[in-house]
Amino acid sequence: MVSKEEKIGWSVSDMARNVAADIPNGAYVNLGIGMPELVAGHVPEGREVIYHTENGLLGMGPAPAEGQEDPELINAGKKHVTAIPGACYFHHADSFTMIRGNHIDICVLGAFQVAGNGDLANWSTGAPGAIPAVGGAMDLVAGDIKIFVISKHTTKEGEPKVVKECTYPLTGKAVVDTIYTDLAIIDVKDDGLYVRELAPGVTFEYVQERTEAELKRNP
Amino acid sequence: MINKIVASPAEAVADIFDGAVVMISGFGEAGSPIELIHALIDQGAKDLTVISNNTGSGHVGLAALIENRRVKKMICSFPRTANSKVFPELYKNGEIELELVPQGTLAERIRSGGAGIPAFYTPTSVGTPLADGKETREFNGRTYVLQHALEADFSLVKCKAADRYGNLIYNKTARNFGPIMCTAAKTAIVQTKQIVDLGRLDPEAVVTPGIFVSSVVEVADPAEESKLVADDRRYPW
């Protein structure tokens, strides 16, 4: 555990930009609730990306102007959204056919913990007495969709979120492809975690100190 | 003459019996058939097993059905939302059962129930606590978990327009669980904003074919759950 210190590394907006840079033109993308939603604002010029929300919309647009909200047009986080020209609606079984059947290309999710082998924990802290709620988290990681995790590198208390083994209940085993944090971009490969890029002013050793799992330098 | 139109929500839900399994459409408030749920509260059936993605908000709709102690068990994927107070309270006190199901598995169990498929294998939840105790099997070197279909005695569904044959179209993301819940219940009861004459729904655009629907009731101006919750309304009024 590392104590609080001055802010270095990427901003949340930078992190969202890093994720967006790895989403190719023409991709169908599901964005999780919270930080992942910011990715939509950073798609590079010239690329067209189609957003899926699992409650039944392909072609999700930005939030509506005030006063234009429609209670029957919402996203998976139950926030008001819009539909772009060319959007379509479908029922829940079709929506999860797109997910589980690997028709969606990329899913961007938040995380409580990611393990060195790509295990993901993002639905429950397993706290006694908490009401368990899973939503679509386990379905999103069940297929072969690319799973991008966007998350601060450590918890508010400074605990590593990239760990040897998840201590929270798992969402899926060996499912994460890339981790985008405020300190680094880390690819999960068969033989371990490879630091692909470091935030400006951040060293490999600095990131490793804040990571429980072993990191490797890109060859 | 075939005429599935009934005069009132009360008439539509009259046959729901104690101990029935009831599917209720909706994702949050979008697609939640609030007038049918309120009619069910008035009707009095209890010991219900309810299959719905969430557990309602505030003290109206599904939350009111639960608060009025009509629900013995919830089968859902996400039993808490920003404004859900009723279910968490009862759950913590051990006064209501919960079967937690991943959202896509919930949808597929309902779809299978309507399609005459008793069970299926899915990759979702493998290696997680939600697969504990469930049968698994390998296909092509990969592990899958066995999930059983869900069927219901009744489903309560909301749509945008219907005709007297029970053909339905929906509104935007309020479609969600409606079409599959119509297929998976012995009796599918639908509230619609509008009843139209036969032939007015484009056959190419019908979402739920009338064969899956038992009765249709027009609720031209349905309540908005979020407004009722913001006004702290409680049902029964």
Q: Are A126 and A169 in contact (CB under 8 A)?
A: yes
Task: Please state whether B44 falls in left (phi above 0), alpha (psi between -120 and 50) or beta.
Answer: left
C-alpha A88: how far from its chain's center? 24
Q: Is A121 helix (H, G, I), strand (E, B) or coil?
A: strand
pLDDT greater than 90 at residue B129: yes
Report, as residue numbers or ranges, the catalytic residues of A. 54
In which band, very low, low, confident or very high, does the pLDDT at A129 lie, cut at 50, 70 and 90? confident
Q: Is A211 helix (H, G, I), strand (E, B) or coil?
A: coil
Could you say which residues from 121 to 140 on chain B have a Cβ atom under 8 Å away from some Cβ of chain A? 122-130
Buried b (16+ CB within 10 A) or exposed e, B59-74: bbbbbbbbbbebbeeb
Token reading at A24: 């190719």
Contacts of A128 (CB under 8 A, 6+ apart): none
Contacts of A93 in chain B (CB under 8 A): 107-108, 110-111, 180
Digit-coded pLDDT (tens) for B166-194:
999 999 999 999 999 999 999 999 999 99
Break chain A into its structural domains and give their ranges: 12-54+92-217
The beta-carbon neighbor of B124 closest among A57, A93, A142 is A142
Task: DSSP for B52-114, please give it.
Answer: -SS--STBSHHHHHHHTT-EEEEEES----TT--HHHHHHHTT-SEEEE--HHHHHHHHHHHH
- Peptide bond preceding A132 in cis form (omega within 30 of 0): no
Quick one: closest CA in A to B105, which residue? A139
Percent of chain B exceeding pLDDT 90 equals 97
Contacts of B163 (CB under 8 A, 6+ apart): B195, B196, B197, B198, B199, B200, B201, B210
Quick one: closest CA in A to B101, which residue? A134
B31 at interface of A, judged by CB pairs closer than 8 A:
yes
The beta-carbon neighbor of B30 closest among A74, A129, A142 is A74
Which pLDDT does position A6 carry in this prediction? 61
Break chain B into its structural domains and give their ranges: 18-100+151-221
| Separation of alpha carbons B226 and A153, rounded Å | 36
- Compute the count of residue pairs across chains A and B with CB atoms less than 8 Å apart: 142
Digit-coded pLDDT (tens) for A75-122:
999 999 999 999 999 999 999 999 999 999 999 999 999 999 999 999
User: A72 vs B79: CB contact, 8 Å cut-off?
Assistant: no
Which pLDDT does position B234 carry in this prediction? 97
- What fold, for B18-100+151-221? Glutaconate Coenzyme A-transferase (3.40.1080)
Q: Does domain A12-54+92-217 have CATH number 3.40.50.300?
A: no
Digit-coded pLDDT (tens) for B15-73:
999 999 999 999 999 999 999 999 999 999 999 999 999 999 999 999 999 999 999 99
Read off the pLDDT of each residue in A128-152 and give the average, rounded to a whole number.
93
Read off the pLDDT of each residue in B147-171 and give the average, rounded to a whole number.
98
Contacts of B103 in chain A (CB under 8 A): 54, 92, 96, 134-136, 139
Distances (CA, A) of B202 to B194, B196, B198, B208: 15, 11, 10, 12
In which band, very low, low, confident or very high, does the pLDDT at A5 lie, cut at 50, 70 and 90? low
Which pLDDT does position A28 carry in this prediction? 98
Q: How far is A7 from chain B (nearest CA, A)?
A: 31
Q: For residue A143, which of A180, A98, A179, A178 has the smallest C-alpha distance?
A: A98
Residue B19 has a CB neighbour count (10 Å cut-off) of 11
Q: What is the ipTM of this complex?
A: 0.96
Contacts of B100 in chain A (CB under 8 A): 132-134
Mutate to test the interface with A, among B75, B83, B103, B170 (most CBs of A within 10 A): B103
Contacts of B126 in chain A (CB under 8 A): 142, 172-173
The beta-carbon neighbor of A91 closest among B100, B172, B179 is B179
Token reading at B116: 């005459």
Token reading at B83: 């404004």
Contacts of A172 in chain B (CB under 8 A): 126-128
Token reading at A53: 């929300």
